[in-house]
Amino acid sequence: MNTVSGTLTFAAVVLFAFVSCGAAREPLAGRLTLTGHLNTPVVSIHGGMAYLQLTVTTPEVRTHQRRPMNLSIVLDRSGSMGDEQKIDYAKRAINKLIDQLDSEDILSIVIYDDVVQVLRESQRVGSNKNAIKRLMERVYPRGSTNLGGGMVQGLREVESNLRKEYVNRVILLSDGLANQGITDPNELDRIARRYRAKCISLTTMGVGLDYNENLMVGLAGNGGGNYYFIENPNAMASILNKEFDAMSALVAQNASIELTLGENVVVHDVVGCEYHPQNNRYSIPIGDLYSNEQRDFTVELGIPPGSGSLTVATGILRYETDHHLVDDCPGFTCSVRYTRDLALIDKERDISAQAKADIAVSTRTVDKAMHALDEGKAAEAEQYLHAAQGAISASPAFSTSGAGGTALRQQAARLGSFEKMLKDSADDSRKAKKSIQYENYRTQKGKE
């Protein structure tokens, strides 16, 4: 193969040789890496499509003391939260989260219906956790849903005590549609991006079947946090605990991959991610990174006609540590070799990168199915899912014996289950839509 794959490394001791909460962290057991591989390192002299597979790998954090937290819990208290005791489950879940916080952690609690109320201003948890829990006893369901107002207030609370050495995060929980205050998804996404640039991330949790999953997925993506679909209210405590565990293992904040393209190479898409072009450079925001994590990103490229060889892309990873932005790091370079021999293209194919690319493209097709479902076109949505399954089965890597083949066969089965789920939910597709979209989100983001 003529692909040159570089690896970005940054000394572990630089990342976590800090003192916080009164104790020094142990160094990372390994290095933070970024690699890039092309599915077709050999291409036709006529050019064509190629997929650049980016992989970010984080080391395992070995520490007896996690990074301190600056959190704001933003809780929907609208009238629908009274159904199925959702508000009671939410309060119990928040109380369990409070139990896990340290006295030096910073916590604020915002509740909202038509009115946004700061139940607890941003301040250290201190020693009297029961006093915080007693505040939750005052919360009862009422009114409509000013989700945007609650979100903005939570972001402001975290900003009031913003510290780069802390995990700075808002956790937004809602069961309904944003029908008061700022309701435009584009404006809400813009706000989330603006605060993410300040190292304040946003996690969203949708409860039940009546909330807007498109909005919640978008806010989490633009806010650099996580998205959760909580079908059963009694799962709130375990989901909040899962989020706490993730925050406890945070390695780097506000990360982004920056690509510089070769001459006349173009980006057609970065599957499932936002990306920002500037001439021949592209920035791909990827949010926060956690311990012992591997995240894959698929970039769809147009390769120009040519001869000899061509540097397709170089890339670096930028991220923030406790005290500063890490940039100008070494990265990777990917090249292609041109050929007239079409058989050589298949012979030199990177099967692992091909498998990951095909799975990513299938998740994009699932997104199209979900958009069709939003428009009331259930039959069209089923057609998209069926087409995605067929494309996966036709992949050159599908029948291979390695990990790539196994992953493709698992994705084909998953897509089949999506299609069946949709057919079985003809009368009410809300549950199917949320379940499919959530599982597809997890596949797309590598959160399985």
Residue range 91-114, pLDDT digits in tens: 999 999 999 999 999 999 999 999
Q: Is the domain of 244 the same as that of 303?
A: no
CA-CA distance, 40 to 63, in Å (whole number)?
41
Are residues 94 and 243 located together in one domain of the fold?
A: yes
Q: Are residues 321 and 339 in the same domain?
A: yes
Question: Domain tally for the chain?
Answer: 3
Domain match, 359 and 390 both: yes
pLDDT for the residue numbered 15 = 33
Do 109 and 241 share a structural domain? yes
* pTM summary value: 0.87
Residue 26 falls within a domain, yes or no?
no
Least confident of 244-258, 335-349, 370-384: 244-258
In this predicted structure, the answer to whether residue 48 has a pLDDT above a threshold of 60 is yes
**CB of 447 within 8 A of CB of 436?**
no
Domain match, 320 and 231 both: no
**In terms of domains, do 239 and 140 share one?**
yes
**Residue 50: inside a domain:** yes
* Pair (310, 359) in one structural domain: no
Residue 78 falls inside a structural domain: yes
CA dihedral of 207, 289, 367, 240, whole degrees rounded to 10: -10
**What pLDDT sits at residue 121?**
97
Q: Which of 348, 367, 383 is at the close of a domain?
A: 348
Q: Which residue has the higher pLDDT, 23 or 275?
A: 275
Q: Strand pairing partners for 442?
A: none
CA pair distance 194, 223, nearest whole angstrom: 8
Confidence grade of residue 324 (pLDDT, cut at 50, 70, 90): low
- Structure confidence by residue, pLDDT tens digits, 215-239: 999 999 999 999 999 999 999 999 9
- Given 223, 248, 273, which residue is the final one in a domain? 248
For residues 338-364, average pLDDT: 96
| The two structure tokens encoding residue 35 | 């690699």
140-151 pLDDT, tens digit each: 998 888 999 999
Express each pLDDT in 180-193 by its tens digit.
Answer: 888 899 999 999 99
Q: 22 φ, ψ to 5°?
A: 85, 5
Residues 276-289: pLDDT tens digits? 998 889 999 998 88
The answer to whether residue 435 sits within a structural domain is yes
185 within some domain: yes
Does the structure show a pLDDT above 50 at 378?
Answer: yes
More confident residue, 429 or 213: 213
| Strand (E) or helix (H) holding 367 | helix 351-374
Classify residue 154: in a domain, yes or no: yes
Integer-rounded Cα radius of gyration of the chain:
23
Model confidence at 412: pLDDT above 50: yes
- 348, 381, 414 — which closes off a domain? 348
> 121 is in which domain, residue-wise?
69-248
Identify the CATH number of the domain in which residue 155 sits: 3.40.50.410
pLDDT class of 435 with cuts at 50, 70, 90? very high
3-state secondary structure of 119: strand
- 166, pLDDT greater than 70: yes
Looking at the structure, tell me whether residues 206 and 80 fall in a common domain.
yes
Domain assignment present for residue 105? The answer is yes
Asked whether the predicted pLDDT for residue 330 surpasses 60, the reply is no
Same domain for 136 and 157?
yes
Residue 3 forms part of a structural domain: no
Q: Given this model, what pLDDT does residue 62 score?
A: 67
